[in-house]
Structure 1
Amino acid sequence: MATVTADTAPPDTIGRPGPTMAITSLAAFMVSLDQLVVTTALPTIRDELHTDITGVGWVVNAYTLTFAVLLLTAAAVADRFGRRRLFCLGLALFTAASAAAALSTGIGALIAARALQGLGAAVVLPLTLTILSAAFPPRKRGAALGAWGAVAGLAVACGPVVGGFLTDIASWQWIFWINVPIGVVLLAFAVRGLTESHGASGRLDLVGTAAISLGLLGVVFAIVRGPDEGWASAEVLASGLAGLILIAGFFAWEARTASPMLPLRLFGNRTFSVVNALSLLMFFGMFGSIFLVTQYLQTVQGSSPLGAGVKMLSWTGMVLFAAPLGGALSDKIGGRPILLAALGLQSLGLLWLALFVEADTSYAALVPAFVCNGIGMGLYFGPTGNIVMGAVPRAEEGIASGANNAIRELGGVLGVAVLTSVFAAYGSVDTDQRFADGLVPALWLGTAVVAAGAVTAALLPGKRAADLAAEAAAAERTAPSAAPAAEHSAV
């Protein structure tokens, strides 16, 4: 097929919007679903594979570690060697790892397969945003990314329900088998339907790649292990300290190398810095709270895994409606008011839970808070990708997406670990009252952190300033030095 270069490609788009939307959205759905679908099957996996709570914990943590740690690295490699090429490789790896997980007969094999799934997801998820963003002109990008957010929200809503349903009617293996036919079909369409593109030219920053990968591994490993081993244990302290040293070394190296994997000047852009800071705070407070509230529905209110998933639809299901609305409105009135409303609603929802959760609280009393949180989450997902992409030149959209996703995932991991530690300090799972005693202070911390995110959102520039910045970024996109070669050919 013909090759499309930067000189002949449309200045604001690379690729065909319709097919690109379908492929990237379905890929985001599959990966996002896998983040939650396994949680409701963990008790069954524990029994059938004859392991303990630590073993099934690593079924979740192995995925989280590789996913969070390798997001930045995968984005940098994709910018260098081709985004479509890496996207297809990530899909193939995720699909094969899903089959390996379904075929696992021991806990060790399952944990290894989950780690490979996390690696595939780390490649696929940020590239769905980068590839989709490049296929739409700036004036339509907010609506497109809002629709993408709605599809990802559908996965969030369906994950616990699908996991419980498949485990109940078939077996836990089917939560992984379901990915295989979807992945195969997606791979076939991606090879033919997506346009190849690259990020900024230059050699791969091997030193920076190694430093940030190992540094994030050390920090995330310490976060994951802290609640079990103790935050002052030698294992946790050594891992966390080594990780922080490597991350500091990474930033020092990026400031002096000629070809950085993460140009630090991106953080000189107020929009980019602020949206990443509020993403960290939002994921910390919200996902740490979701983890504990889901356990509350099962442990205190006596719901089955499937029942808890259905009850959570009043929270997660709201994302389906709010995400496309937030994306479309951000094109018209700017991202700042949407994100202020998003974080404000989530703060209100968590505050409601912190005030009213007791050992004998009814589910009906929780629904208003769940709805507030769900609408707030949807409004957040809608414009955030658009804001991140609009803050940087097209050549750097891949690494910007990878950085934002990595920061969000680290916020979620940190939130689960810290809020779980607060819960353990004040309560336990022994009785309903003790569970409520631990949940309430954890929810207060989650409320405070998300409220800090709302304050941070107020620092975003208004629509006029954002439009001027977008025009400057568009000018950079058409400059010869910033326009990488793009091909439209079969792999």
Structure 2
Amino acid sequence: MTATTSSLEVQSAREVRPGAVLTVLSAAAFLAGLDLFIVNVAFEHMGRSFRGASLADLSWVLNGYAIAYAALLIPLGRLADRFGRKAGFLLGLGLFTAASAACAASTGLWGLVVSRVAQAVGAALLTPTSLGLLLNATPPDRRARAVRIWAAVGSLAAAAGPVAGGLLVELSWQWVFLVNLPVGVVAFLAAVRIVPDSRDAARGPLPDLPGAGLLGLAVGALSLALVKAEDWGWGDGRTGAALLGSIIAGGLFWWRSSGHPAPVIEPALLRVRTFAWANLSAFVFSVAFSASLLTSILWMQDVWQYSAVLTGLAIAPGPLMVPLFSSIAQRLSRRVEAGWLVASGCGVFAVGAATSTMWVGAAPNYLTGLLPGWLLAGAGVGLVVPTLLASATVELPPARTATGSAIVNMSRQVGLALGVSLLVALVGNSEGGELRAAFRHVWMAAALLALCAAPLSLGVNASRAATRSNA
């Protein structure tokens, strides 16, 4: 008997209500999904609040979250599988909510960064546990629909984030964090009463938390080298030390992963061709997406002097393209291999970023300059991300599918962090015409990276052996 079946039988006496469980868990997923766009829109206002903070320093508000989330997503999910998903979910949601309050109360930049890292720890715990609890509480014949709704709520958060962020920032940037409190508290109290618990019946080894720390250190040191290179100089010893530290930490991480019984990344999984190429293309594409997103926001706020509300409204059409083109990709997947769909999406995104480079002017020309490229970028994301997530694990053993999906999400988060670092490295302390030129360089770099991701994604096409076995 599986752990899921056993848990469902125990909870049947309490009249599990799958619809109510879906609502509660989706609300928590909404909180985590809202973060990316809502904080990006508030980025400029945070910079004004912390006088003297450079763009390199401010970047850690975004990167601290992304790096911690990426490093801890898999080990914290495994700990919850072992000791109880409901306890893990409640702990993660409680920490995320409390850390949101701490972010709003921060009076200094580095206090905010620390609170953002705590937020990421909570998100890394609540995200995998919410999906695991949802699958446990939903009858088998309704699970696919429940997961689609759960995922769609995350997409809705991405679409609502820019507008919500813009409106809240007009009050103050602290409100982009305070808005999490009522939703978090209500979801927590509802989860205590409504959501049934589950855990793995067989307890495996403890996950490699030191390995997760090494991964975070490797990505963090590389990000530090990129964002401080202009201030320190590429030939400065501090830049070299950060790069060397990244290489050493990355090497130690791989060494631990090769010998640990429950590593963050199982090396054997990367020997599965489709999975390896999916992770590589997801990483490269995410670097492009992150750099392009923040460049678009900063261009509107720094060059065009848009308000936060206007910036949020201007950004919103891009995320709205994602569910539309995700649906198109799903229909095309019956006739077109996944790798070709992802490659096409990368190409569409690259055209969008290049369009912004060529058409956006110093004077506001949103409808004819920024919007066309941003719509293409959103369409590209809709073709790429859902297709990658759906196809990355098709050749993995069934018992490794959940772990494989988490690794792909980890690769995406690492890419998001390095995309922000790339922007900082190219923009530096530029002003005026130099700043506009630097932003154009970031857009062009994003276009080139998306083009690089296109051929990489062709490796996602299932092998003929796998295709025959699935037929």
Instruction: Settle same-fold status: TM greater than 0.5.
Output: yes
Taking the aligned partners of 2:3 and 2:436, their CA distance within structure 1 comes to 60
Give the % identical residues: 28
Counterpart position of 1:430: 431
After TM superposition, give the deviation of residue 120 of structure 1 in Å: 0.8
Counterpart position of 1:242: 245
Counterpart position of 1:62: 64
Counterpart position of 1:339: 342
Q: Does the Cα contact within 8 Å between 1:271 and 1:461 map onto a contact in 2?
A: yes
Taking the aligned partners of 1:67 and 1:461, their CA distance within structure 2 comes to 28
Counterpart position of 1:308: 311
Shifted more, 26-35 versus 285-294: the winner is 26-35
Counterpart position of 1:378: 382
Q: Does the Cα contact within 8 Å between 1:93 and 1:116 map onto a contact in 2?
A: yes
Distance verdict in 2 for CA 1:281–1:362, change over 3 Å: same
Deviation per CA, 1:200-237: give whole Å up to 9, x if none.
Answer: 742114xx430332242243243145323445444443
Distance verdict in 2 for CA 1:305–1:171, change over 3 Å: closer
After TM superposition, give the deviation of residue 179 of structure 1 in Å: 0.9
Confirm whether residue 177 of structure 1 aligns to residue 178 of structure 2.
yes
Distance verdict in 2 for CA 1:387–1:294, change over 3 Å: same
Distance verdict in 2 for CA 1:47–1:361, change over 3 Å: closer
Confirm whether residue 31 of structure 1 aligns to residue 25 of structure 2.
no
Unaligned 5+ segments in structure 1 are 472-491
Confirm whether residue 459 of structure 1 aligns to residue 459 of structure 2.
yes
Taking the aligned partners of 1:290 and 1:199, their CA distance within structure 2 comes to 43
Counterpart position of 1:444: 444
Taking the aligned partners of 1:89 and 1:99, their CA distance within structure 2 comes to 15
Q: Does the Cα contact within 8 Å between 2:297 and 2:315 map onto a contact in 1?
A: yes
After TM superposition, give the deviation of residue 148 of structure 1 in Å: 4.3
After TM superposition, give the deviation of residue 412 of structure 1 in Å: 1.3
Q: Does the Cα contact within 8 Å between 1:391 and 1:469 map onto a contact in 2?
A: no
Q: Does the Cα contact within 8 Å between 2:84 and 2:197 map onto a contact in 1?
A: no
Q: Does the Cα contact within 8 Å between 2:321 and 2:382 map onto a contact in 1?
A: yes
Confirm whether residue 396 of structure 1 aligns to residue 397 of structure 2.
no
2:304 is paired with a residue whose SS is coil
Taking the aligned partners of 2:143 and 2:274, their CA distance within structure 1 comes to 17
Q: 1:53-202 counterparts in 2 under 5 A?
A: 53=54, 56-128=58-130, 147-168=149-170, 170-191=171-192, 192-198=194-200, 201-202=203-204
AA partner of residue 36 (structure 1) = F
Deviation per CA, 1:22-70: give whole Å up to 9, x if none.
Answer: 3443322211212332334345445556663466444334323422332
Q: Does the Cα contact within 8 Å between 1:142 and 1:330 map onto a contact in 2?
A: no
AA partner of residue 181 (structure 2) = V
Taking the aligned partners of 2:22 and 2:274, their CA distance within structure 1 comes to 25
Q: Does the Cα contact within 8 Å between 1:146 and 1:327 map onto a contact in 2?
A: no
Confirm whether residue 369 of structure 1 aligns to residue 373 of structure 2.
yes
Counterpart position of 2:271: 268
After TM superposition, give the deviation of residue 288 of structure 1 in Å: 0.8
After TM superposition, give the deviation of residue 444 of structure 1 in Å: 2.1
Counterpart position of 1:290: 293
Counterpart position of 2:283: 280
Q: Does the Cα contact within 8 Å between 1:146 and 1:325 map onto a contact in 2?
A: no
AA partner of residue 262 (structure 1) = I
Distance verdict in 2 for CA 1:288–1:17, change over 3 Å: farther
AA partner of residue 410 (structure 1) = V
Counterpart position of 1:350: 353
AA partner of residue 454 (structure 1) = A
Taking the aligned partners of 2:137 and 2:276, their CA distance within structure 1 comes to 25
Q: Does the Cα contact within 8 Å between 1:145 and 1:327 map onto a contact in 2?
A: no
Taking the aligned partners of 2:178 and 2:145, their CA distance within structure 1 comes to 32
Distance verdict in 2 for CA 1:108–1:374, change over 3 Å: closer
Distance verdict in 2 for CA 1:259–1:176, change over 3 Å: closer
Shifted more, 114-123 versus 335-344: the winner is 335-344
After TM superposition, give the deviation of residue 145 of structure 1 in Å: 5.3
AA partner of residue 183 (structure 1) = G
Q: 1:412 aligns with which of 413, 416, 419?
A: 416
After TM superposition, give the deviation of residue 125 of structure 1 in Å: 2.9
Q: Does the Cα contact within 8 Å between 2:4 and 2:199 map onto a contact in 1?
A: no
Taking the aligned partners of 1:129 and 1:261, their CA distance within structure 2 comes to 19
Taking the aligned partners of 1:221 and 1:443, their CA distance within structure 2 comes to 24
Taking the aligned partners of 2:127 and 2:223, their CA distance within structure 1 comes to 23
2:459 is paired with a residue whose SS is coil
Aligned residue pair count: 459
Shifted more, 248-257 versus 304-313: the winner is 248-257
AA partner of residue 408 (structure 1) = R
Taking the aligned partners of 2:182 and 2:41, their CA distance within structure 1 comes to 22
Q: Does the Cα contact within 8 Å between 2:300 and 2:311 map onto a contact in 1?
A: yes
Shifted more, 377-386 versus 142-151: the winner is 142-151
After TM superposition, give the deviation of residue 410 of structure 1 in Å: 0.9
Taking the aligned partners of 1:333 and 1:17, their CA distance within structure 2 comes to 35
AA partner of residue 385 (structure 2) = F
1:392 is paired with a residue whose SS is coil
Q: Does the Cα contact within 8 Å between 2:345 and 2:383 map onto a contact in 1?
A: yes
Deviation per CA, 1:309-335: give whole Å up to 9, x if none.
Answer: 211122222124333444565478663
Counterpart position of 2:13: none
Shifted more, 192-201 versus 298-307: the winner is 192-201
Taking the aligned partners of 2:362 and 2:201, their CA distance within structure 1 comes to 53
Counterpart position of 2:326: 323
AA partner of residue 413 (structure 1) = A
What TM-score comes out, normalization by structure 1 length? 0.80
Unaligned 5+ segments in structure 2 are 9-15
Q: Does the Cα contact within 8 Å between 1:21 and 1:132 map onto a contact in 2?
A: yes
What TM-score comes out, normalization by structure 2 length? 0.83
2:125 is paired with a residue whose SS is helix
Q: Does the Cα contact within 8 Å between 2:73 and 2:125 map onto a contact in 1?
A: yes
Distance verdict in 2 for CA 1:185–1:16, change over 3 Å: same
1:52 is paired with a residue whose SS is coil
1:309 is paired with a residue whose SS is helix
AA partner of residue 289 (structure 2) = M
Counterpart position of 1:475: none
CA RMSD of aligned residues (A): 3.6
